[in-house]
Amino acid sequence: MASDVFMVKVSRDDPDKAIARKLDTLIDASGVLGFLRKDDYTGIKIHFGEEGNTGHIKADWLKGLVERLRSVTNNIFFTDTNVLYKQSKRTNAVDHLKLAYSHGFGFQNMNVPVIIADGLRGRNYTDVEINKKRFSKVKIASDITDCDSLLALTHITGHIMTGFAGAIKNMGMGCASRRGKFEQHCGIVPDLNPVECVGCGLCASNCPADAIKLSEGKAKIDLANCIGCGECVVVCKTEALNAKWSETLANLQEKMVEYACGAVEAVDRRVGYINFLTNITRDCDCLAKDEPRIVEDVGILASNDPVSIDSASAEILNGLRDKDIFRQEHPEIDWMIQLRYAASVGLGRTDYKLRTV
């Protein structure tokens, strides 16, 4: 049986208040908040955007949504987890909170707190038993597992290692502790072309494992210390570094799906999903820069099925160009692996019925 996915159309020219009103209409039509119960501790899982990035979901779009949640429970909060790479403003809770506040998510603007779910340095996690192919247990941020329910707000983008980033990635990578992120990333090998390397040092300064050094004006990778996060590939400006296509990228998607299963099971599958098909860029909001859109803004989707809402998001966007825009941007990556695997392990269904509001 296909899952329902609801959509309201938005355009780049819509002012913030218009998008907020359309989101309110979508919530009414979809019933996506049906999981919510009185006095729940409910985390609103979101990516606050890296410093310098403006493509992330805007705080002012969400004020009406927040008030609707507060009418049922006062125990709601925005949340995310810390990241692996050391140059980010999101690598510890202090700087992460400052960044969230600077992007409009402070209490004075939103009337709810922000909690970084894996603690000050990303070390707080709970083992959640899932018994899947890659993991028997996954390390989910403790303040996620302590929730009664979750609302996942996801900005759809491409991604350097998964090709497509949607609700599954928001739940799988985004709800993991830093140790959990390491478990998912480990195994991806960067491929260095020394001819293209100009010795700028960006890869070395952004490597969270200190696995890259400059030697004789060129980058050198110590593969024994590499954690396979791909950050060096993202920051390289000369294409001297690339993520080597191998089964490890497929493994990463499967690991990410299994972590999403852990996050969902931790709250007894009481999760709602809202995907924003706006400001769609080649790479995710972790990049500390603005990237050009690869396709026009389309709308906002809502569902209680993470696989269906991601399937619908990708197919709608690809339909605008009559081609796979995510494969065009990342031709080495079969991003459909995550959807097929998620369906196979019972996270959701790839079949959906789209209902336009």
The secondary structure of 282-319 as a DSSP string is SS-TTSSS---BSS---EEEEES-HHHHHHHHHHHHHH
What pLDDT is stored for residue 180 in this prediction?
A: 92
Closest to 118 in 3D by CA, of 153, 148, 91 = 91
Domain shared by 198 and 271, yes or no: no
Residues 289 and 194 in one domain: no
Q: Which domain holds residue 170?
A: 3-184+247-356
Write down the pTM of the prediction. 0.87
At residue 225 the predicted structure's pLDDT band, cuts being 50, 70 and 90, is confident
Same domain, 193 and 167: no
- Residue 212 near residue 240 (C-beta atoms within 8 A): no
What is the predicted pLDDT for the residue at 16? 96
Same-domain status, 40 and 180: yes
CATH number of 43's domain: 3.40.50.11440
The pLDDT score that the predictor gives to residue 86 is 65
281 and 142, same domain (yes or no): yes
Is residue 160 domain-shared with residue 62, that is, in the same domain?
yes
Say yes or no: 114 and 36 in one domain: yes
Q: Look at residue 234 and tell me whether its pLDDT is greater than 80.
A: no
Q: What is the percent of the chain where pLDDT is above 70?
A: 97
28 and 127 co-located in one domain: yes
pLDDT over threshold 60, residue 42:
yes
Last residue of a domain, one of 243, 270, 285: 243
Which pLDDT belongs to residue 247? 54
**235 pLDDT band (50/70/90 cuts)?**
confident
Averaged pLDDT for residues 320-330:
97
Neighbours of 269 (CB within 10 A): 13
Average pLDDT, the chain: 94
Q: pLDDT: is 290 or 195 the higher one?
A: 195
Residues 220 and 116 in one domain: no
- Check whether 245 has a pLDDT greater than 60: no
What pLDDT does 89 receive?
Answer: 84
Q: Structural domain tally of the chain?
A: 2
Domain end among 198, 223, 243: 243
> Considering the chain, what percentage of its residues have pLDDT values greater than 90?
80
- Kindly state the average pLDDT of the residues 49-65: 94
* Cβ pair 306, 260 in contact under 8 A: yes
Band (244; pLDDT cuts 50, 70, 90) = low
pLDDT of 183: 86
Q: For residue 221, what is the domain's CATH number?
A: 3.30.70.20
| Predicted local distance difference test score (pLDDT) of residue 242 | 81
Q: Are residues 175 and 323 in the same domain?
A: yes
- Of 243, 259, 276, the residue that ends a domain is 243
Average pLDDT over every residue of 307-321: 98
**Which pair of structure tokens corresponds to residue 271?**
């999760």
Among 20-24, 192-196, 236-240, 320-324, name the one with the lowest average pLDDT: 236-240
Rounded CA gap, 152 and 64, in Å? 16
Considering the domain architecture, whether residues 80 and 218 belong to the same structural domain is answered as: no
Q: Do 69 and 138 have their domain in common?
A: yes
246 pLDDT more than 60: no
